[in-house]
């Protein structure tokens, strides 16, 4: 028997094998201020009977809760097992193997892997020197799907409204706007999901603090959402995850906003400390800071040996070597700075 030789999800490098062993983990931009109380109540009070049950197909309660939270109709919402899954399903829904996607560089590292596992070609287009997206460069690729992440992981920088509008107006196909960090940003562009060629993806993993429950969603025109649902599979979100995410979206928004505010206050303090050390931080609107640092990989390795995990990058276009540091409670951050 000959086995297929296509790109594999197992080729996706996991950030840091030693991560699980680190006492302080500032590497994945999650909410380090605890879990939302409504979701925690679900876990304590109703988790056990849910575990033996299948979820209802296509997560109708979750879709309703997302619609309520985002102010759109339920027909405009699709959900998945993390926004990773929503993004992956979107690529499968709209593109055939061999077709092209474009995205800014640097951006969310998973994009090149999602392209590979779906047999797609991909065109990275460098961010402009001011960290806005290069609209002309992205359009010049003529890609059928253009992905933009704002606030952008790993830089924390945002795409300007004007650039997004131009891109959407002139794109030959779908624009997938990844707003995983929207709750931390000054401005959300969710309203752009009213356009016929835009999907906006979001996650419960970051501001809402439910990373391990694996819940993500996308908002867009019903026709686009219906296409993603075709590629999605019915039972992606577990019954427990659905109930916890629904509780978080319906009850825990004030908690989430308070934790976002704490995170942003820590971020300002962290930026001031780093600048005080003579380092350059990129202008961030996310719950993490990218700081330029020559030899970042080695620095991160030394920090890991001291039980602190941050994400390091080498030779990023227009940036060079850099660390990405997530914002948790100040005493946790201080451990990283010591
Ligand atoms: N998009 C961006 C920009 C991210 O940083 C992440 C997580 N690192 C995701 C999507 C995926 O998040 P999840 O699958 O947990 O929703």
Q: What is the mean pLDDT of the chain?
A: 94
The confidence score (pLDDT) of residue 1 equals 75
What CA–CA distance (Å, rounded) separates 141 from 131? 19
Pocket perturbation via mutation, ligand 1, pick of 84, 212, 324 by most ligand atoms within 8 A of CB: 84
Strands 198-203 and 216-220: antiparallel
Higher-confidence position of 27 and 19 = 27
| Dist. CA 81 → ligand 1 center (Å) | 11
The confidence score (pLDDT) of residue 229 equals 95
Residue position matching structure tokens 């276009």 = 317
The confidence score (pLDDT) of residue 17 equals 53
- Any ligand 1 atom below 6 A from CB of 84: yes
Q: What is the ipTM of this complex?
A: 0.99
Give the number of other Cβ atoms within 10 Å of residue 217's Cβ. Answer: 28
Please give the number of the atom of ligand 1 that sits closest to the Cα of 205.
15
- Any ligand 1 atom below 6 A from CB of 90: no
| Dist. CA 86 → ligand 1 center (Å) | 10
Residue 18 has pLDDT above 80, yes or no: no
The confidence score (pLDDT) of residue 4 equals 64
Which residue intervals of the chain are DSSP H helices? Answer: 37-51, 60-70, 82-94, 110-117, 135-140, 161-170, 222-232, 239-251, 253-276, 296-305, 330-337
What CA–CA distance (Å, rounded) separates 159 from 103? 12
At 28-55, the pLDDT tens digits run 899 989 999 999 999 999 888 888 889 9
- Any ligand 1 atom below 6 A from CB of 89: no
| Dist. CA 14 → ligand 1 center (Å) | 13
Structure letter (DSSP) for residue 273: H
Of the pLDDT bands very low, low, confident and very high (cuts 50, 70, 90), residue 23 is confident
Residue 334 has pLDDT above 90, yes or no: no
Residue 154 has pLDDT above 90, yes or no: yes
The confidence score (pLDDT) of residue 16 equals 56
Identify which of 172, 189, 154 has the alpha carbon closest to the alpha carbon of residue 102.
172
Residue 21 has pLDDT above 80, yes or no: no
| Dist. CA 181 → ligand 1 center (Å) | 9
The confidence score (pLDDT) of residue 272 equals 97
What CA–CA distance (Å, rounded) separates 53 from 76? 27
- Any ligand 1 atom below 6 A from CB of 180: yes
Of the pLDDT bands very low, low, confident and very high (cuts 50, 70, 90), residue 22 is confident
At 191-249, the pLDDT tens digits run 999 999 999 999 999 999 999 999 999 999 999 999 999 999 999 999 999 999 999 99
The confidence score (pLDDT) of residue 107 equals 97
| Dist. CA 202 → ligand 1 center (Å) | 8
Buried b / exposed e across 147-167, counting CB within 10 Å, b at 16+?
A: bbbbbbbbbbbbbbeebbebb
Residue 57 has pLDDT above 90, yes or no: yes
Mean pLDDT over residues 152-161, rounded? 98
Q: Strand, coil or helix: what is 252?
A: coil
- pTM score of the predicted model: 0.95
- Any ligand 1 atom below 6 A from CB of 211: yes
Identify which of 303, 83, 90, 21 has the alpha carbon closest to the alpha carbon of residue 207.
83
| Dist. CA 18 → ligand 1 center (Å) | 20
Pocket perturbation via mutation, ligand 1, pick of 62, 91, 108 by most ligand atoms within 8 A of CB: 108
Residue 145 has pLDDT above 60, yes or no: yes
At 58-87, the pLDDT tens digits run 999 999 999 999 999 999 999 999 999 999
Pocket perturbation via mutation, ligand 1, pick of 28, 80, 159, 180 by most ligand atoms within 8 A of CB: 180
At 252-295, the pLDDT tens digits run 999 999 999 999 999 999 999 999 999 999 999 999 999 999 99
Please give the number of the atom of ligand 1 that sits closest to the Cα of 81.
14
The H or E element spanning position 202 is strand 198-203
What CA–CA distance (Å, rounded) separates 242 from 239? 5
At 308-318, the pLDDT tens digits run 999 999 999 99
């Amino acid at each position: 028997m000959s086995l297929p030789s296509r790109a594999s999800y197992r080729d996706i490098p996991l950030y840091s094998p030693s991560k699980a062993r680190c006492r302080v983990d500032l590497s994945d931009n999650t909410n380090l201020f605890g879990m939302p109380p409504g979701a925690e109540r679900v876990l304590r009070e109703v988790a056990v009977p849910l575990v033996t049950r299948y979820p209802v197909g296509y997560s109708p309660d979750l879709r309703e809760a997302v619609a309520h939270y985002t102010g759109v109709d339920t027909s405009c919402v699709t959900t998945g097992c993390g926004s990773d899954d929503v993004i992956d399903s979107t690529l499968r829904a709209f593109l055939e193997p061999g077709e092209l996607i474009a995205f800014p560089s640097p951006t969310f590292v998973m994009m090149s892997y999602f392209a590979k596992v779906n047999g797609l070609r991909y065109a990275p287009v460098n961010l402009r020197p001011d960290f806005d997206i290069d609209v002309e460069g992205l359009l010049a690729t003529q890609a059928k799907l253009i992905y933009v992440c704002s606030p952008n992981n790993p830089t924390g920088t945002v795409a300007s409204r004007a650039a997004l509008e131009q891109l959407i107006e002139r794109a030959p196909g779908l624009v997938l706007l990844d707003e995983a960090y929207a709750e931390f940003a000054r401005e959300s562009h969710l309203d752009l999901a009213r356009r016929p060629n835009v999907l906006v993806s979001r996650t419960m993993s970051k501001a809402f603090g439910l990373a391990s429950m694996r819940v993500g969603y996308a908002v867009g025109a019903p026709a686009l959402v219906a296409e993603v649902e075709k590629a999605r599979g019915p039972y992606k979100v577990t019954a427990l995850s659905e109930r916890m995410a629904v509780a978080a979206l319906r009850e825990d928004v004030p908690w989430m906003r308070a934790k976002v505010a704490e995170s942003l206050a820590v971020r300002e303090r962290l930026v001031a400390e780093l600048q005080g050390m003579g380092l350059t931080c990129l202008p961030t609107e996310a719950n993490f800071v990218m700081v330029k640092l020559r030899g970042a990989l080695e620095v991160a390795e030394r920090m890991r040996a001291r039980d602190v995990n941050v994400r390091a990058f080498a030779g990023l276009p227009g940036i060079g070597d850099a660390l990405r540091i997530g914002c948790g409670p100040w005493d946790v951050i201080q451990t990283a700075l010591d």
